[in-house]
Structure 1
């Protein structure tokens, strides 16, 4: 006798997908809850160390003994090294408010917090980067990169006309999305690179380019074709921004900003709004990336433009850090050194 095979319910696939989604969500909530408990535990241990050191005056030897005893008591747990206990103390010292730990710090992984303690001494900057890391879901690598590249000095610094071309609060969010300058030193190009060379390199390094642009940018394409009354036009780079809910047209100029650049980009934005933008998308934004710009010239140029545009510089070769600059010899010192070498050579020849 053949066994009858029960037919699957018609909605089985949808039901299975729903269960999978709930399992994933539950695992994420469990991981976040476990992380929050761990961060609170580390803060409490760090607070205790601070209080006892202050009251009893003991030093690092007690921390080393505590680390050894905790590892023996909990061999299955990592994180009880003497070095990590010192991080806990620094954590509690940097953020003594338990409410802050509960509301923000507990939502970040431990090594994010260690990075903030290591890389930033200014409490206000630590708080700023902590809030942004949580809001945008930065990895530890992204957090370190943004700190090293001094994101706080560049974010929201582009010249824009968003205040008069976009409604609030969308205009503020769009303005904060752009930077000035953008750092493209990862391309390995010199300052004399042409526009097409830069464009090609940015596409080859699209992951690094998206990291530099910031959260929310999705790459659509390069040399994006538009046709207007039989004429072809090509956009350098086209993106969609998932938080701003709009297309972003990026034009590269391997020269100083000129007012006519804004006019050309204004045309592209109008074409994208007519031909590409969906009815529920917000107005398309333009970003002009120029080798250099004069801020007042850019402000004047954008004041007469209908579409929302930002102007920013890019750097292919990052400026030398200050300590290195001051340690390099001057031209006069090099000439003096060369003169001394030539004199020694002449004396050697006479002998």
Structure 2
């Protein structure tokens, strides 16, 4: 038998076996995780119920922790703090909700983040689904909650419902956010578009995480030629799930209607020069620093290419608690003026 045929058959067999082993490992880990989450919920429920029934204080948790660790020295997870997490988990979710809400498909550490997040059940379900879909670490989940992904999701102004088939439009809309957070760039709001582009490419891993699942980066200042004229797209991506090229244009200021005309041209060129017959129509995303509102809606109304408009933020907002404690710019200026007046009087 031909040696190349044998090698080909062997590699096919090896790849099939690798897939089977990986699938079995994943299913086993999922089963173990479900069992662990169920156990933790049961422990939390029993503690909660007995504490209420017997009117015990919180001191019983430390005693339980000591005795459980003595009984099961090989097991981790019975610290006083973790037992409190279990009790909180039992307060937050009924037993039948755990499977219905897919809570048992995410690790325990992620569950702890969610139950202490202050989010309602609908919001928690959103983050659970995103964690499962994107494989987020606990830190990634915390970051997405902190940056209000739920509120930012699908808030961008688009014409997708008119220019894309319904199922494609819904998926495209779900990929967008408003605003996008680029605070990892350490740039001020006055940053020029070229500096923004360079920063995003230099931090491409964090940029892709902010964009969301499915984006594949193709290039910055991507060159296209039309009638011997050169044009350069700020950022070009391909979205694997949408099966569409995504053209992103960055604007370091307020939205202007002429941005849409330029994007419309780029999308026509990309559809003609790059798009394969099996690809869906290319999609444009214009990111402005601020003010994407009624003017943008009017501009998009009669455009025949799918275009989304959103904003981005370069600096992280202060937490609400700090906003109420720290002085405003106006207060600082007033205090500084007062100090200067005092100095002059002296």
Whether TM-score is above 0.5 comes out as yes
How far apart, in 2, do the equivalents of 1:9 and 1:238 lie? 42
Structure-2 residue corresponding to 1:24: 22
Give aligned pairs, total: 338
1:118-197 to 2 correspondence within 5 Å? 118-197=116-195
The RMSD of aligned alpha carbons is: 1.9
Residue 289 (structure 1) aligned to one of 256, 273, 287 = 287
1:46-57 to 2 correspondence within 5 Å? 46-57=44-55
**Deviation readout 1:28-69 (Å, 9 max, x if unpaired):** 111111111101110111111111111111122211111111
- Structure 2 gaps of 5+ residues are none
Residue 41 (structure 2) aligned to one of 35, 40, 43 = 43
The answer (yes or no) to whether the contact 1:94–1:123 under 8 Å persists in 2 is no
**Deviation readout 1:248-300 (Å, 9 max, x if unpaired):** 11001112111111111111111111111122111111000112234111011
Structure-2 residue corresponding to 1:222: 220
**Deviation readout 1:11-41 (Å, 9 max, x if unpaired):** 1121112112211111111111111110111
Structure-1 residue corresponding to 2:327: 328
Shift of 1:102: 2.1
Q: Which structure: larger Rg?
A: 1
How far apart, in 1, do the equivalents of 2:342 and 2:118 lie? 45
Residue 308 (structure 2) aligned to one of 292, 307, 310 = 310
> Structure 2 length normalisation: TM-score?
0.93
**Deviation readout 1:183-207 (Å, 9 max, x if unpaired):** 1111011111111010000000111
Structure-2 residue corresponding to 1:3: none
**Deviation readout 1:228-262 (Å, 9 max, x if unpaired):** 12111111101111222211110011121111111
SS in 1 for 2:44: helix
The answer (yes or no) to whether the contact 2:292–2:309 under 8 Å persists in 1 is no
How far apart, in 1, do the equivalents of 2:67 and 2:119 lie? 31
Residue 265 (structure 1) aligned to one of 253, 263, 266 = 263
SS in 2 for 1:59: coil
SS in 1 for 2:247: strand
Does residue 1:101 correspond to 2:103, yes or no? Answer: no
SS in 2 for 1:232: strand
SS in 1 for 2:166: coil
Pick closer, same or farther for the CA change 1:28–1:322 going to 2, 3 Å.
closer
Structure-2 residue corresponding to 1:232: 230
> Structure 1 length normalisation: TM-score?
0.91
**Deviation readout 1:86-140 (Å, 9 max, x if unpaired):** 10110111011x2221241110100000111222243332233223222333221
